[in-house]
Structure 1
């Protein structure tokens, strides 16, 4: 008997218990339902993968296409406050009714195939984009690439932003193993991009094996920081005088360089002018990526949840300016390299406020605090939740101090729910 409900909350509750595993790597079930739904996009599809930087890249791509007047569908994950954030058209989350209609379409077509939460949502997002007749779709890989549900759709352009060790239980515990999985989104004869300055041999080999048109940062496209502006170089020329992205962090120039390379590759089908690129870079928004809230003390929100992202956060904290004391509001998932994250940031944090997270995979705060203490931190405190941790940090931080909330999406989501000022 098919499930039916009128509210998005009811549908999401249904999806959470539909499949026995939260993650079930493989494309066979998803492909069968895709075919049953006849999901055949006629618009260009861009697939973006990578360990970190996927969200920023998707946000800048979508902002540029919107600035150029195209109707763009963007599918990302996870969300921070509302599921609707995952499925956006022209940068605006799709309303509940639209998402529910697409979830109904998936349910009607899936037959005996059980789908995970992410698989169900991926098919529903594409159904919504086709129904809305978007001009271009930007799809963010959920996990890995080769066996991720997003990869059931044929990309016109595929990009890998970065490669580092994460999700080892599913992707392997080396950059070479992970690089192979991420290269699985490349297609024969199609533009494929990698913005990692040191791409694994496995990624290069897979691209060569299938005959993808692989373009690498530093070789086929590049950027140079010119103090008050920056310059992009690619196969077909240069774009000087570009504004810095509204998203903070020096690493965003690498992401923006990748974005322009992708826009360049699809220019014949969805042309974006230099002026539209500039506007997209200036107007792009993305919560939780080195997001600095106004007021004092300074409050920084970042979804950094692995050592690679934590290293970037540490660099940004160093460059933000002088603060007498930096407080951390921190929580982590048990399957992450918590020690690696803490090691990257321990020299930037003076006081740790460790929170328990209301999340199935969360590591107990006492355990996390013990690990932080073992790595040399002296001022480490434990709290029942993020709200209590932030309240404690806020009550002790002076106007010239800083509070950095990071560790996973759940920490940032809880902070945004508090709407700290």
Structure 2
């Protein structure tokens, strides 16, 4: 951990963005420390406040897709939108967008300097510091609407500093148990912490945890639940939204899979909830759904053989990935490049994916909390996937890029390759080897 005196020693020449991200990593002994007390003090010093609507999106899976669709729809409707998401895949700048464009290095450095000046001797985690950068920048930008993605949980997450006009919990599944608890009820309570009294709250799935419903009721949030208060009808070539209004003949979202129509249904419900302040016509909704782009969500980057990138790193997401692979169909073999963090439910992910995969290419990942490729191999074998000793079914690599090369060398034109698991897998298989990739934290 660096003291303010050590930080001040770095002053003089203006730091680059890469230098700032490395420096901010060193300010706090932990990547994650739950709690809003320290960051709230710095927020007040920076006088951060919003006059425009703010939407906060939490949940186990689907947060990124939901945020990306909201941004694109409102942009298509002519509004100036700020979007904050995490983690990034290649560049830190991916986390902060205004009108769909990444904020440039120089502007980000300006705000890193402002947050550094305001924090004094308060130790902030990487995520807390960078969240304040985004919030201060958006507060100064005279935006029409701000969309903030929760980093982890909800109740104690840094974005929960802001009172959301609309808060979304996409779904609740088991993940991050060391921080959020080991049951859906415990996790649901943490995620419901972004709901606010008297404001619209969404739960974007059927079967919400009782704890989430109970918390919404206790604080007087106006909770809308998928399947109860709004829904969708899917059919060949399109779908309908059914909420306070009905929109028929909506185009398929550009993001692949029925799960994205499910996400899009909640997106349209959020747009509908803010119509009085941000009027949006059906045409802008349709264009927004079709134009949304999001790397690493069943992203098909090549044909013959197909290469698919997906950041499915927990069983809930792996179930969606497996279903999408089955629906996509394949006449050949499926080769999987896979890497994961050690604290994830790797056995659960393997159980859902093993029947979809013919050959595995396991990779180490470049950080201490990752599971080693050898450890993943042992888990595959424990799940009944036997290596024949020639590396035909299970291969082990130190780098994701090398694992992908191995898969490409073995794949034929009618095969497919799916690179999945941690964000670091997608980063590794698409990284320009000459680029210095800055820190990628949740």
Q: TM-score, normalised by structure 1?
A: 0.98
Q: Does 1:417 align with 2:431?
A: yes
- Among residues 333, 338, 342, which one is paired with 2:346 in the alignment? 338
- 1:226 corresponds in structure 2 to 235
- 2:213 corresponds in structure 1 to 204
Aligned pair count? 418
How far 1:272 moved relative to its partner?
Answer: 1.2
How far 1:41 moved relative to its partner?
Answer: 1.0
- Among residues 239, 261, 284, which one is paired with 1:253 in the alignment? 261
Counterpart-to-counterpart distance in 1, 2:317 and 2:191: 17
Residue pair 2:240, 2:246 contacting (<8 A) in 1 also: yes
Moved more, 78-87 or 128-137: 128-137
| 1:382 match: secondary structure | strand
- Among residues 107, 112, 128, which one is paired with 1:119 in the alignment? 128
Q: Does 1:76 align with 2:85?
A: yes
Residue pair 1:373, 1:380 contacting (<8 A) in 2 also: no
How far 1:268 moved relative to its partner?
Answer: 1.0
CA RMSD of aligned residues (A): 1.0
Q: Does 1:404 align with 2:418?
A: yes
Runs of 4+ in 1 over 6 A off after TM superposition: none
Residue pair 2:205, 2:227 contacting (<8 A) in 1 also: no
How far 1:228 moved relative to its partner?
Answer: 1.3
| 1:270 match: secondary structure | coil
How far 1:348 moved relative to its partner?
Answer: 0.1
After superposition, give the CA deviation of every residue in 1:296-350 in whole Å (9 maximum; x if it has no partner): 1000000000000000000000001123100000111111111111111000000
| 1:347 match: secondary structure | helix
Residue pair 1:325, 1:350 contacting (<8 A) in 2 also: yes
Residue pair 2:302, 2:308 contacting (<8 A) in 1 also: no
Counterpart-to-counterpart distance in 1, 2:415 and 2:221: 49
After superposition, give the CA deviation of every residue in 1:206-244 in whole Å (9 maximum; x if it has no partner): 000000000000111100102111000112x20111001
Q: Does 1:178 align with 2:187?
A: yes
How far 1:418 moved relative to its partner?
Answer: 5.4
Residue pair 2:401, 2:430 contacting (<8 A) in 1 also: no
Q: TM-score, normalised by structure 2?
A: 0.93
Residue pair 1:56, 1:286 contacting (<8 A) in 2 also: yes
- 1:317 corresponds in structure 2 to 325
Counterpart-to-counterpart distance in 2, 1:13 and 1:229: 46
- Among residues 373, 385, 410, which one is paired with 2:399 in the alignment? 385
| 1:394 match: secondary structure | helix
Residue pair 2:330, 2:416 contacting (<8 A) in 1 also: no
Structure 1: which 5+ runs fail to align? none
Counterpart-to-counterpart distance in 2, 1:289 and 1:172: 26
| 2:307 match: secondary structure | strand
| 1:20 match: secondary structure | coil
How far 1:122 moved relative to its partner?
Answer: 0.5
Residue pair 2:61, 2:317 contacting (<8 A) in 1 also: yes
Counterpart-to-counterpart distance in 1, 2:146 and 2:237: 32
Residue pair 2:17, 2:105 contacting (<8 A) in 1 also: yes
- 1:149 corresponds in structure 2 to 158
Counterpart-to-counterpart distance in 2, 1:364 and 1:219: 43
